[in-house]
Amino acid sequence: MFKKITSKQMTPICTALVAVVFIYLGLTKYGFWGGVKGPLPGFVPTIVAVGLLIMSVLALLQSFKEERGNFPALNWMAAAGALGVILATFVIGMIPSIAIYVILWLKLFEKASWKNTLIVWCIIMAIVVGVFVLWLAIPFPNGMIGDMIMG
């Protein structure tokens, strides 16, 4: 029963914590039932959160029977790549960030050939620039540097 706490246990613990926060705020801040007005903003969230709390406890009890999951470090590389693009967007803008990201990813991480890298890069940029920027005129952020140049 008292094995090490793994992600299997963390998930229901987290949902239970969310439930407690929602119940607390629902009852103290947003109101539950208002006489002839019927349910107040806190009504549904509070009821649902009580249900979530109970189910989370059940899931927690169940979770001790499960094997622990594995999280290969490699998988987080995809997330790290996306995070890199998000952070770079604030500095150099979204389109250049994506352009650089795709090249760096394919060249440095996947060690792809220049030919394949450029083909993939061209297709991605054609979709992003052609469809989203030119045709649909989505105003992508320019980042700090872009804004400085554009004035």
Partner 1 sequence: MKKQLAFVMAGVMAASMMLTACGGSSSSSEAAGSTAESTGSAAEGEAQGAWAPSKSIDWFCASSPGGGSDIFSRMITDIMTKEGVTSETFLVTNKTDGGGEVVKAQVSETKAGKQADHTLMTFNVGELQPMLLNTDRRIEDFTPIAVMALDKQLLFAGPKSPYQDFQSVIDAIESGKSVNVSGSKGDDEAVYAALLAEMGWTEDQLVYVRHDATSDAITTALGGHSELVIGKPAATSSYVAEGVEASKKLTPVLAFSTERFTGALGEAPILSEVDPNHKDVELPTWRGVCGPKDMSPEAAQFWSDALKKVSETEQWKTEYLEKNQLIGAYMDLEETKEYMTQAQVDYLASIGKAE
Partner 2 sequence: MENMQLLFGGFETVFTLQNVSACLLGAVLGLIVGAMPGIGSLAGVALLLPLTYKFDATTAIIMLGSLYYSNMYGGSFSAILLNIPGDSPAIMTSLDGYPMATTRGRPGQALFTANIASFTGGTIGILILTFTGPALADLGLNFGPTEMTALLLVAMTSIGWLVGENPTKGVVLTLFGILMASIGMDTVTGSPRYDFGILQLMGGIPFIPFVIGAVGFAQVIKLMEDRNKVTEGAVTQKLTIRGSLLTRHEVRRLLPPAFRSGVMGTFVGVLPGAGATTGAFLGYAMQKTFKSEEPLGTGAVEGIAACEAANNAAAAGAFAPLLALGIPGSGTGAVLLGGLMMWGLEPGPMLFTNHSDFAWGLIASLYLANLLTLAIALCIIPFLIRILSVPVKYMIPCIVTVCIVGSYSTSNSMYGVIVMFVSGILGYLLDKNGYSTAPMLLAFVLAPLLEKNMRRAFTTSQGDPSVFVDFANHPISAVLMLIFFVIICVPIVKLIIRKVKGSKNTTPAA
Residues numbered 12 to 71 that lie near partner 1 (CB under 8 A) are 36-37
> Which amino acid is residue 78, in one-letter code?
A
Query: Does residue 66 bind partner 2 (CB under 8 A)?
Result: yes
Contact between residue 64 and residue 3 where contact means Cβ atoms under 8 Å apart: yes
Q: Out of 18, 96, 120, 124, which residue is the one contacting partner 1 (CB under 8 A)?
A: 96
Q: Which two tokens stand for residue 21?
A: 């926060």
**Residues 116-145 close enough to bind partner 1 by CB under 8 A:** 125, 129, 133-134, 137-142, 144
100 binds, among partner 2, partner 1, none (CB under 5 to 8 A by kind): partner 1
CA–CA dist 151, 10 (Å, integer): 48
DSSP string, 94-120: HHHHHHHHHHHIIIIIS---HHHHHHH
**Smallest gap, in angstroms, from Cβ of residue 125 to partner 1?**
8
Q: Are 14 and 21 in contact (CB under 8 A)?
A: no
146 binds, among partner 2, partner 1, none (CB under 5 to 8 A by kind): partner 1
* CA distances (Å), origin 104, targets 9, 82, 121: 37, 12, 10
Supply the minimum distance, in Å, between the C-beta of residue 97 and partner 2. 9
CA distance 42 to 132: 40
Residues 19-58, one symbol each (x = binds partner 2 by CB under 8 A, - = not), give x--x--x---xx--xxxxxxxxxxxxx--xx-xx--xx-x
Binding site for partner 1 (CB under 8 A): 36-37, 92-93, 95-96, 99-100, 103, 107, 114, 125, 129, 133-134, 137-142, 144, 146-151
